[in-house]
Amino acid sequence: MILTLGAFDGFHRGHQKLLDRARLLAQGVGEKWAVVTFSPHPQAVLSGAPHFFLFTEDERDLIARFLGVPNLVKIDFSRWLAELAPEDFMNYLAQKLDVSGIVVGDDFRYGQARSGDVEQLVDSCRRRHWRVAVLPQLYHGDQIVSSTLVRQKVSGGDVAGASELLGYPFFVSGVVIPGDRRGRSLGFPTANLSVPQGKILPDRGVYVSGVLVDGIWWPGALNVGYNPTFEGRRSIRFEVHLPGFEGDLYGRNLFVFILARIREEMRFERAEDLIAQMTQDVSTASSTWRRNGKEMEGAFNRWHQILMKHT
């Protein structure tokens, strides 16, 4: 089996080059191929500090399906595994899986203290008579495409830029929970999502989004923030208004695909001013979704198939 190895937080365009090479290499020799990743993310174990991730493991599983990965292998990551010498790690991999080849990026590191580099990897593979391919890092303009860069884009509110690096829209999944119902009183009912701890969120503001409900894509005006117009302390909210939707979403798991930022979070002196701004935001969200939805119709049809099977 041909393997491509990595943490793969997000399966961005650079990662997708590795998938393509593993797929082609496997087809050329008539073998299967797989993505091998780690659970939990190595940084969550090694850093000793909270690790903010682009996608949950369940979300990564869905992305792998979206990208056509036939086999996703998750290796339990522990300090024991982290402390293996590079060659011992390769022995562990050989014992665990039927390996015939490995595909990695040229920045790949493995083994104790990340002491193993691609030169050692290539040497080890050749001694084992495994095929090996090392790909250069992918550039977007003058920047290397990386999970770190994607996280920076998302946390800064540039979700459109993040989507360019990912090759698909950044999204958040979560269960709809009761909120304070203030949106309903203003004429804009929202679905308030409980977001998994550690999941990175866009900077505070209002965003264009798309949400699949019962097989239908709905445009969404997404708000991420603290609702500063109203008094009182509250945790950050991730809530989306679906124009025209009528129904009860409590307890349901929604996937919110975030396409573009409309504006930053603002504080209004009067509720009437907030309502006027929200009316404009909803109009912008709906028109942008219609325009972008046509451009990304093929991708969203694929997401439709995957999410319908998932739910």
Q: Which two tokens stand for residue 113?
A: 């203290």
Q: Which two tokens stand for residue 252?
A: 């349901």
For residue 8, the model assigns a pLDDT of: 92
Rounded to two decimals, what is the model's pTM?
Answer: 0.92
Ranges assigned E (strand) in 118-190 = 131-135, 139-140, 143-144, 170-177
**Does the fold of domain 147-310 match that of domain 2-144?**
no
Give the N- to C-terminal CA distance of the chain in Å, as an integer: 31
For residue 230, the model assigns a pLDDT of: 57
The pair phi, psi for residue 81, each rounded to 5°, is -65, -40
**Successive 10-residue mean pLDDT values, the chain, 311 residues:** 93 97 97 94 78 91 96 93 95 96 95 93 97 96 95 96 96 90 73 93 96 92 80 76 92 95 88 89 93 76 89 65
- 2-144: CATH class: alpha beta
The pair phi, psi for residue 197, each rounded to 5°, is -60, 135
Radius of gyration of the chain (CA): 22
- Write down the CATH number for the domain with range 147-310: 2.40.30.30
Query: Tokens 């800064």 identify what position?
Result: 156
Domain boundaries, the chain: 2-144, 147-310
Q: Which two tokens stand for residue 13?
A: 């365009």
Residue type, 107: D
Q: Which two tokens stand for residue 125?
A: 């593979």
Query: Tokens 């950044």 identify what position?
Result: 170
For residue 206, the model assigns a pLDDT of: 97
Nearest one of 77, 76, 66, 7 to 35, comparing CA atoms: 7
CB 103 within 8 Å of CB 21: yes
Query: How many CA atoms are closer than 13 Å to the CA of 143, on its beta-carbon side?
Result: 14
CB 231 within 8 Å of CB 211: no
